Amino acid sequence: MPSAAAPCPREPTTRVRRSARALGAVAGLLSAVAGAGVSEALAAVLHGVTSPLLAVGNRAVDLTPRPVKEWAVETLGSHDKPALVAGVLVTVAVVTAVAGAVGARRPRLALAVFVGLGAAGAAAAVTDRSATAGPLLRLLPALSLLLVAATVLHVLLARLRRDAPPGRLPGDDLPAGFDRRGFLRAALAAGAVAAAGGAVREVYGGSAAAGERAGVRLPVPATAAPAVPAGARLAVPGISPYLTPNRDFYRVDTALKVPDVPIDGYRLRIHGMVDHELELGYQDLLDRRLLERRITLTCVSNPVGGEYVGNASWLGVPVRDLLREAGVRPGADAVRSTSADDMTIGTPLHALDDPDRDALLAIGMNGVPLPLKHGFPVRMVVPGLYGFVSATKWLVDLEVTRFADFRAYWTTRGYAAEAPIKTASRIDVPRSFARVPAGGEVPVAGVAWAQDRGIESVQVRVDGGPWQRAELGTADNADTWRQWQWRWRPTAGNHTLEVRATDATGHTQTARRAPIAPDGSTGWDSVNVTAV
């Protein structure tokens, strides 16, 4: 009588099966990396083409619901774009690795997953709003990605399935004659393809605009901005500088990659409801009457107390000069502006041709040509309007029209068609949760803004008590923010500081909290500190 069989350890078999799946996952991931490297290289070489990965990211930006966008901007700040790109890359990596692991047993299923990803990338590339090339050229990077990735996947998975034991499904475990060195050589070859693609991208994927910008010499403006008034800058450590350095100026837009807009061949078209269409090159703008103006810009995404606001000196052509030359026809009430990456913005016509409001087509920022990320070669700067209805970067087209005849990018997403900047103020120092000396003199300071109206007064209060008038920096002009400070001698304990501003029309900030959509947040900024 046969004795009872002792349990046979299954660990070795399990281990080799896991090894097969793990190597399948490596094969899937390497295949995707090799395909992506080639596609990125092609996108860098071909003009006006977006890589599939970036095109998918752009589609994600366009399709993301407004509440998610607002959360990302408020939570991640300037890191929202890298976070989105990282999310796309991680998702693709996980999907392709899982597909490869499954492909160790079912290669056709893995290939189907890769074809689906390639089709999604191709669809995104063909419809990408930032691409300017024809449909066939747009498809080339996506097709190369699919072809290279599928080929590498087939080669690597075939190595895993070669000489599978009889009676066993290929991919159940590593075959007895598995050529580890052959698999490694194939994997290294796939890595070399990816590295070569990355090298080509680095060599040819640079910005032509960056090189041209380095050679730009800004003309002397016909009307220079007056010197910053004495007393406009308050000597308070930690307060926002009166003029925001270019490197620190906020950036909020939908471009995952800064558009490359060379000045060689640049054309700005002005058309629509006008008597004479205009087409201007970059040099044409440099040769026109230029104004230098200090103007504070604010993003509608700025929450109460947020950092999406900055003050700079701008050099540019008055928009009203161009509109006057084109001859605006009766009935027009808006200008639809378009960027090089096909972002559209609608601006009220009255804000652009107002003789008392210096709306500019800016070519310079704080004494240098526009930085690439802030709109080089040309952007719009309109005092008193939130950026989503005025501050078009990488500007290539101005169409005089009517609000009734179009909807811009953000108005299709629930934001207002017209959005004057609301009176606001912010506490820069002390920061929330700071510890300050009890009984000593503590500076409370920050900035306040009400573009095209100006700030009349700023008040601070402690723990809901009476409002105290703050000292204001000397006013520069109605379009710039004003620094303010108040000297406080706190008692020991926890305290809440609040600030509010009143503009030159007599309007005082409301305490009512409102979200950033559809036309800007409201409420008083506050900080909590501890005096010890």
HEC letters along 402-434: CHHHCCCCCHHHCCCCCCECCCEEEEEECCCCC
What's the confidence (pLDDT) of residue 99?
94
- SS3 state of residue 450: coil
pLDDT of residue 174: 62
Q: How far apart are CA 254 and CA 60, in angstroms?
A: 10
Determine the CATH number of domain 424-531: 2.60.40.650
Measure the N-to-C terminal CA separation of the chain; round to a whole number of Å. Answer: 87
> Could you give the CA distance from residue 219 to residue 472 in angstroms, rounded to a whole number?
34
> How far apart (Å, rounded) are the C-alpha atoms in residues 427 and 33?
47
Out of 3.40.50.300, 3.40.50.80, 1.10.579.10, 3.90.420.10, the CATH code matching 246-413 is: 3.90.420.10
Give the residues of the chain that fall short of pLDDT 50. Answer: 1-16, 163-164, 166-172
Q: Are 445 and 236 in contact (CB under 8 A)?
A: yes
DSSP label of 103: H
Report yes or no: 41 and 200 within 8 Å, Cβ to Cβ: yes
Q: Are 497 and 526 in contact (CB under 8 A)?
A: yes
The angle that helices 107-126 and 80-103 make with each other, rounded to 10 degrees, is 150
SS3 368: strand
pLDDT at 18: 63
Instruction: Answer whether 246-413 and 424-531 agree in fold.
Output: no
> Is residue 281 a contact partner of residue 377, using CB atoms and an 8 Å limit?
no
Q: Which residue has the tokens 């304990």?
A: 493
Where exactly are the structural domains of the chain?
11-206, 246-413, 424-531
pLDDT given at position 465? 97
Q: Which among 297, 261, 304 has a CA at the least distance from the CA of 520?
A: 304
Do you find a cis peptide bond into 518, omega within 30 degrees of 0? yes
